[in-house]
Chains A and B, each alone.
Chain A
Amino acid sequence: MHELIQVLCVDDEINILNVVRRQLDDEEFEVQTALTVEEGLQILAQKTPIHVVLSDFRMPGMNGVEFLQQVARVRPEAVGIVLSGFADIPAVRQALEKDALFSFIAKPWKASELRKAVMDAAALSNLRSREEGSLP
C-alpha cells in the first residue's frame, strides 16, 4: 500500500542525474530527471505527483534557488533540496533562511545522506498535501 515517493532531479550534468537515480532506485522512490530547468518545469506541468525536487545550484539560465522558487508556485506541495558546491554556500544559506527550500546537500555527498534528506522532504510534502486537501 506504499505510495512511491516521486522525485524530480534537475542537473546540467548527466552523470550526477545517473548517480542520483541509481542511488534512489529502491522500491520507495521513483525518480524522474531533467537536464535543464525547462525540461524540469515540463515534467512538473504533467499531472503526475512530485514530492521532492532535487536541483543543482549552478545551472545555465537560472540558479537552483530561483528554480525552486518557481517550483513552489507551480507545485506548492513539492519540497525542494539543493545539491550544491561549496562556492555557492552564501546564496544557498540565504534561501534556506527564507524557507524557500528545505535543505541542501553539498557535493560530493553520501548516498545515505541523500536518501535521508529525500525521505524527510517527502514526509514534509505529504504533510503539505494533506493540509492542502483539507483546506478547500
Chain B
Amino acid sequence: MLEKNVRRQVLIPLTLTFVILITSFLYTSYRIRMDEYASGLTHRYHHVQNILESLIAGRTKSMMTAAEFIAGQKRFQWAMIAGDREALLQHASAIRERLVAGQQITHFNFYDTAGRNILRIYQPDDTSESSERFTKRQAMEKGTPVSGLELGRVGAFTLRLTYPWWVEGELIGYIEFGQEIDHILQELKEITEIDFLISLDKSHLERDAWEEGMRILGRRADWDFLPDKVVIDQTISMPASVAAGLIASRTIDQESGSVFEFDKRSYRARSFPLYDAARRSVGEFILLKDITKEVSSFRSFLTRVVPFSLVLSATLFAFAFRVLGRVDRRLVQVQESLSREFEKQADTNQKLETEIAERRRAEEKLIVLNESLEQRVLERTSELKALNAEIEASRAALEEAYRDLQIQQATILQQDKMACIGQLAAGVAHDINNPIGFVAGNLEVIQKYWDRTGEFLKIQSDALNVCAPPELLEHVEQSRGRLKIDHVAGEFPAVMAECLDGAERVTKIVLNLKGFSRIDEEGARIADIHECLESTIGIVSNELRYKASLVRRYGEISPLYCCPQQLNQVFMNLLINAAQAIDRWGEITIRTWAERQKVFISIGDTGCGIPEEHLSNIFEPFYTTKKAGGGTGLGLSIVYDIIKQHGGAISVESTPGKGTLFTIELPLQAQEARSA
C-alpha cells in the first residue's frame, strides 16, 4: 500500500509534468507557426493592396489625361456647346480605338450640365438615362474630377472618372471614363502571383444582369452557388461546398485566418472587406495562400519531435520507476522494523497510559481533597479570626472595665481616706474636747486661784510688816529669796498664757480636722470658700511649713452653694501638689476673686513646673511623675471630677523651672452640686 502510494505520488505528477511539457512545447511551436502565417498573410495583403492601389492610381491618371485631352480640344468643345451628338461621336470615334486598346477604357460618355446623358460612345444608340452614380454626383457637387471603383448591376467592378468640363470658366458638361476592374485584377495576379477569390453580396446585384455580365466575361455564373453571395472571380476553382465553408468560416476575417484543405493541398485564407467608391461594403476579397509545403514540413517536424520526446519521457519514467521501487523496498523494511518497534512501544504506552490515568485520578482526588481542605482551613481561619476579634474585643472591654474599676477603687479609696479622716476627726474631737475642756477650764480656775492667793499673800506680808519681829521678817525675806517667789510671781502669767495657748492650739487642730472632714454635715450647702481654704490649710500646714511661705490674697467673694467637703479635698490636693513640686523652699500663693457671677480660686507655686507636653496628661487618672509609692496619680483627676460636678472649670499654666498656677472657676449659681 505504501509502495503504491510512493510510486503514485511521485509518478503521477512526473507523468503529468511530461505531458504538460510536451503539450506546451507543441502548442507553442504551433502558435509560433500560426503567427508566422498570419503575419505573412497580412503582409501579403498589404502588399497586394499597395500594388492594387498603385495600379488603380495609374489607370485613373491615364483616364484623367485622356479626359483633359478631350476637354482641351476645340472641336469637342464646340460640338459639346452646340449639343451636336453627331460631331461628338465623330470626334470621339477617331480616338476610340486608341482608348480601348491602349488603356482598356470600356466606358466613354458625355453628360450635359444637369448630368443628363448626351452620348454613350460605345453604345451611341442607347440614349436611356444611366443609373445614378456616386462619382458623377460627387463631381457635380464639388465641380472637380472624382474617381472611384463602382459596382455595376452586372456584378462587375468599374473604375470610373467623372470629369467636369469647364470652358473659359463655364461648365459645359461632364466627361465620364470607365474600365472594368477585371483587367486590373488580371494584371495584379500576374504581378503578385497570388490566389484570390472575390465574392459579392447578392443584395447589390440583379441576377439576370449578372449572369449576362459573367457570360460576356466568359466566366461561370452560378447564382445559387452560395445562399447570399456570388463568386465573381477566383484564381483557384474549388467546389461550392469548400467555398461556402470557407466564406462562412468564422475565423476568416481574423488575423490568423482560416485553414482549409482540398484537392490534397492545404490553404490558409483571409478575407478583407471590399468597398466601392461610396465606401459601401459590397463583398469580400479573400486572399488564399497555399501552405501545403509548410504544413508538411511542420508535420515532419512533429513526427520527429514527438517520438523523441516520448522516448525521453519513457526513459525518465522508467528510471524514476526503478529508483522509486528501490526506495519503496527500503521504506517497507524500515516500516516493518518500525512497526515492530511500534508494537513494543504500544505495549509500554498502554502500561504508561493506564498508569497516567491512575495518576490523574489520584491527582483529581487530591485536588478535590485539597480544595475541601483549603475550604476547611479558610473556614477555620475565619472562625479563628472572628474568635480572636471577639477575644480582642472582650479583652479590650475587660481592660477598660479593669481600668474603670481601678479608677473607681482609687476614688473610693480616696473618699474612704477622707471619710476615715473625718470619722477619726469626729471621734478624736469628741474625746479631746472633754479633756481640753477641763484642762482649759482648770487653767482659768488656777488663774483665779493664783490671783486670790496673791491677794492674800499681800495682805499677809502687810500684816507682818506691821507687827512681826525683825528676825521673823528677816526669815520671811530669806525664804522669799530662796523660793524665788518674786521670780515665780513674774513668770506665772507667762506660764499661764503658754498653757492656755497650747490648749487653744489643740482645740484648733481638732476644729480643723472636723471642719475638713465635715462628717457631721449634709452634702451641699452655702459655704464660705475662705473658711474651706483655711480649714484645709490647717490640715496640710505640716506639709507646707517646711517647704513654703503661704501668701493669702483673698478678695471679696460671696458664700457659695457647694459641697465644702469636696472643695476641701480639691484645695488639699492642689496645696499638697504645690508643696511637693517645691524642692527646698518656695512660695505658695492663694488668690480669690469674683468676676461675672463667678468665683475664682488660684493656687500658684514656685516649684519645678510641668513640661508643656505633659500638661494635657496631668488630669488623667494614674498619671504621675512621682516615684513608685510616692503618688497615686489620682489627685488631679479627682480634682477635675469635683470641679466638673460643681459646674466649674480648672485650668493650668506652667513654666518649667519657674512654677505652676492652677485656676479654678466656680459659678455662683451652681446648677447641680452633688451631695456627699
A residues sitting closer than 8 Å to B (CB atoms) are 13, 15-16, 18-20, 22-23, 58, 83, 85-90, 107-111
The answer to whether residues A85 and B444 also contact, given A90-B520, A90-B521, A108-B503 and a CB cut-off of 8 A, is no
Nearest residue in A to B446 (C-beta to C-beta)?
Answer: A22
The answer to whether residues A19 and B442 also contact, given A13-B434, A86-B429, A108-B436 and a CB cut-off of 8 A, is yes
Q: Contact between A15 and B438 (Cβ–Cβ < 8 Å)?
A: yes
Q: Contact between B442 and A108 (Cβ–Cβ < 8 Å)?
A: no
Q: Contact between A87 and B438 (Cβ–Cβ < 8 Å)?
A: no
Q: Contact between B429 and A87 (Cβ–Cβ < 8 Å)?
A: yes
Q: Which of A89, A90, A107, A111 contacts B434 (CB 8 A)?
A: A107
Residues of A near B511 (CB, < 8 A) are 86
Mark contacts of B506-548 with chain A using CB atoms, 8 A cut-off: 1 yes-contact digit, 0 otherwise.
0100110010000111000000000000000000000000000
- What is the size, in residues, of chain B's interface with A at 8 Å between Cβ atoms? 24
Apart from A107-B434, A111-B441, what are 10 other A-B pairs with CB-CB below 8 Å? Answer: A13-B438, A16-B434, A19-B442, A19-B445, A20-B441, A85-B430, A87-B520, A90-B521, A108-B437, A110-B444
Residues of B near A110 (CB, < 8 A) are 440, 444
Q: Which of B441, B442, B444, B514 contacts A86 (CB 8 A)?
A: B514
Mark contacts of B144-157 with chain A using CB atoms, 8 A cut-off: 1 yes-contact digit, 0 otherwise.
00000000000000
Counting CB contacts under 8 A, is B433 at the interface? yes
Q: Which of A23, A85, A111 contacts B433 (CB 8 A)?
A: A85
Counting CB contacts under 8 A, is B435 at the interface? yes
Kindly name the residue among A22, A23, A85 whose own CB sees the greatest number of chain B CB atoms within 10 A: A85
Nearest residue in A to B432 (C-beta to C-beta)?
Answer: A85
Residues of B near A20 (CB, < 8 A) are 441
Residues of B near A107 (CB, < 8 A) are 433-434, 436-437
Q: How far is the CA of A18 from the CA of B437 in the complex (A)?
A: 11
Residues of A near B444 (CB, < 8 A) are 23, 110-111
Q: Contact between A108 and B441 (Cβ–Cβ < 8 Å)?
A: yes
Residues of B near A86 (CB, < 8 A) are 429, 433, 510-511, 514, 520
Closest 6 CB pairs of A and B: A19-B441, A107-B437, A15-B438, A85-B433, A107-B433, A108-B437
How many A-B contacts are there with CB distance less than 8 Å? 69
Residues of B near A16 (CB, < 8 A) are 434, 437-438, 441
Q: Contact between B433 and A108 (Cβ–Cβ < 8 Å)?
A: yes
Q: How far is the CA of A41 from the CA of B42 in the complex (A)?
A: 186
Counting CB contacts under 8 A, is B426 at the interface? yes
A1 to chain B, nearest CB (A): 25
Residue pairs across A and B with Cβ atoms less than 8 A apart, 22 shown, are: A15-B442, A16-B434, A18-B438, A19-B445, A22-B441, A22-B445, A23-B441, A23-B444, A58-B430, A85-B429, A85-B430, A86-B433, A86-B520, A87-B519, A87-B520, A90-B520, A107-B436, A108-B439, A108-B440, A108-B507, A109-B437, A110-B440
A121 to chain B, nearest CB (A): 18
B517 to chain A, nearest CB (A): 10
Residues of A near B441 (CB, < 8 A) are 16, 19-20, 22-23, 108-109, 111
Q: How far is the CA of A22 from the CA of B447 in the complex (A)?
A: 12
Residues of A near B503 (CB, < 8 A) are 108
Nearest residue in A to B445 (C-beta to C-beta)?
Answer: A22
Q: Contact between A15 and B435 (Cβ–Cβ < 8 Å)?
A: yes
Kindly name the residue among B433, B436, B440, B519 whose own CB sees the greatest number of chain A CB atoms within 10 A: B433
Residues of B near A19 (CB, < 8 A) are 437-438, 441-442, 445
Q: How far is the CA of A111 from the CA of B520 in the complex (A)?
A: 27
* CB contact list, B440-470 vs A, under 8 A: 440-442, 444-445, 448
The answer to whether residues A87 and B514 also contact, given A22-B442, A23-B444, A111-B444 and a CB cut-off of 8 A, is yes
B447 to chain A, nearest CB (A): 9
Q: How far is the CA of A19 from the CA of B434 in the complex (A)?
A: 11
Q: How far is the CA of A6 from the CA of B61 in the complex (A)?
A: 208
Q: How far is the CA of A86 from the CA of B6 in the complex (A)?
A: 139
Q: How far is the CA of A111 from the CA of B128 in the complex (A)?
A: 206
Residues of A near B507 (CB, < 8 A) are 108
Kindly name the residue among B436, B438, B445, B507 whose own CB sees the greatest number of chain A CB atoms within 10 A: B438
A34 to chain B, nearest CB (A): 16
B111 to chain A, nearest CB (A): 181
Kindly name the residue among A16, A20, A83 whose own CB sees the greatest number of chain B CB atoms within 10 A: A16
Nearest residue in B to A85 (C-beta to C-beta)?
Answer: B433
Q: How far is the CA of A108 from the CA of B426 in the complex (A)?
A: 15
Q: How far is the CA of A87 from the CA of B427 in the complex (A)?
A: 8
Nearest residue in B to A19 (C-beta to C-beta)?
Answer: B441
Q: How far is the CA of A85 from the CA of B436 in the complex (A)?
A: 11
Q: How far is the CA of A18 from the CA of B439 in the complex (A)?
A: 11
Q: How far is the CA of A93 from the CA of B429 in the complex (A)?
A: 18
Residues of B near A83 (CB, < 8 A) are 437
Q: How far is the CA of A38 from the CA of B352 in the complex (A)?
A: 124
* CB contact list, B401-450 vs A, under 8 A: 426, 429-430, 433-442, 444-445, 448
A44 to chain B, nearest CB (A): 24
Residues of A near B434 (CB, < 8 A) are 13, 15-16, 85, 107
B596 to chain A, nearest CB (A): 35
A105 to chain B, nearest CB (A): 10
A50 to chain B, nearest CB (A): 22
A60 to chain B, nearest CB (A): 13
Q: How far is the CA of A13 from the CA of B439 in the complex (A)?
A: 12
Q: How far is the CA of A122 from the CA of B346 in the complex (A)?
A: 144
Residues of B near A18 (CB, < 8 A) are 438, 442
Residues of A near B429 (CB, < 8 A) are 85-87
A26 to chain B, nearest CB (A): 9
A65 to chain B, nearest CB (A): 15
Residues of B near A109 (CB, < 8 A) are 437, 440-441
Residues of A near B433 (CB, < 8 A) are 85-86, 107-108
Nearest residue in B to A13 (C-beta to C-beta)?
Answer: B434
A2 to chain B, nearest CB (A): 20
Residues of A near B510 (CB, < 8 A) are 86
Mark contacts of B259-302 with chain A using CB atoms, 8 A cut-off: 1 yes-contact digit, 0 otherwise.
00000000000000000000000000000000000000000000
A116 to chain B, nearest CB (A): 14
A33 to chain B, nearest CB (A): 13
Q: How far is the CA of A15 from the CA of B441 in the complex (A)?
A: 10
A133 to chain B, nearest CB (A): 35
